[in-house]
């Protein structure tokens, strides 16, 4: 069955229902950072960053065009995506603007180093990806930035920070209840989905 998308009124679906449903979907919390020079750095907190491909290694992130980082990403042609760990909740709030700290002042918090592209990289991130801007796609309110990775770092020991139901959480392992040889484990295998 083919559905004609033009037959649906874009305004007929209540955005409140969309937001309520999306609150049930956990997202990894990351900081998108940009700016090679002190005084010109900025960044924002997102849950909209994810992998795109490993050929070439690349990520995507959705950034609201009203965010201060949006224009800076275009100007610099580079940015970093820094995935946070459980001790970074205050840093996530700071970069979200909820603490009243803006622009370069946000980098007074956390341990930062300069990436190979010049973008600020969080030294103790769960995973950090230093990217050059490869492509951009515009939607009504956001741009989708494609970043080709120039360097990456990670910490396998750190517990990732996720956002779910309007609160920060950490993931819980379920491996203790599932063994590799179990029939259920075979059904849950990632290879079944990829």
Give the angle 188-189-193 at the CA atoms, nearest 5°.
95
Would you say residue 188 has pLDDT above 70?
no
Which has more pLDDT, 185 or 132? 132
**Residue 145: what pLDDT?**
98
At 22, phi and psi to the nearest 5?
-65, -25
Global confidence as pTM? 0.84
- Cα–Cα distance between 89 and 110 in angstroms, integer? 11
Cα 124 to the chain's mean position, in Å?
16
Would you say residue 133 has pLDDT above 70?
yes
Question: Are the beta carbons of 76 and 33 closer than 8 angstroms?
Answer: no
Average pLDDT of the segment spanning 119-134:
98
Give the angle 69-70-72 at the CA atoms, nearest 5°.
60
């Amino acid at each position: 069955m083919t559905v004609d998308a033009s037959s649906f009124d874009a305004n007929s679906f209540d955005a409140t229902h969309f937001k309520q449903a999306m609150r049930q979907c956990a997202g990894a919390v990351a900081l998108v950072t940009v700016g090679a020079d002190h005084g010109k750095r900025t960044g924002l907190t997102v849950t909209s960053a994810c992998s795109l491909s490993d050929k070439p290694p690349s990520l995507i992130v959705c950034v609201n065009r009203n965010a201060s980082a949006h224009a800076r990403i275009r100007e610099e042609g580079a940015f970093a995506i820094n995935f946070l760990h459980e001790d970074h909740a205050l840093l996530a709030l700071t970069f979200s603007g909820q603490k009243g700290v803006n622009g370069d002042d946000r980098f007074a918090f956390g341990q930062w180093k300069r990436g190979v592209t010049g973008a600020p990289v969080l030294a103790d991130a769960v995973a950090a990806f230093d990217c050059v801007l490869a492509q951009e796609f515009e939607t009504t309110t956001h741009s989708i930035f494609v970043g080709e990775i120039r360097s990456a770092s990670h910490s396998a020991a750190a517990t990732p920070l996720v956002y779910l139901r309007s609160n920060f959480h950490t993931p819980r392992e379920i491996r203790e209840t599932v063994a590799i040889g179990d029939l259920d484990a075979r059904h849950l295998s990632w290879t079944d989905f990829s």
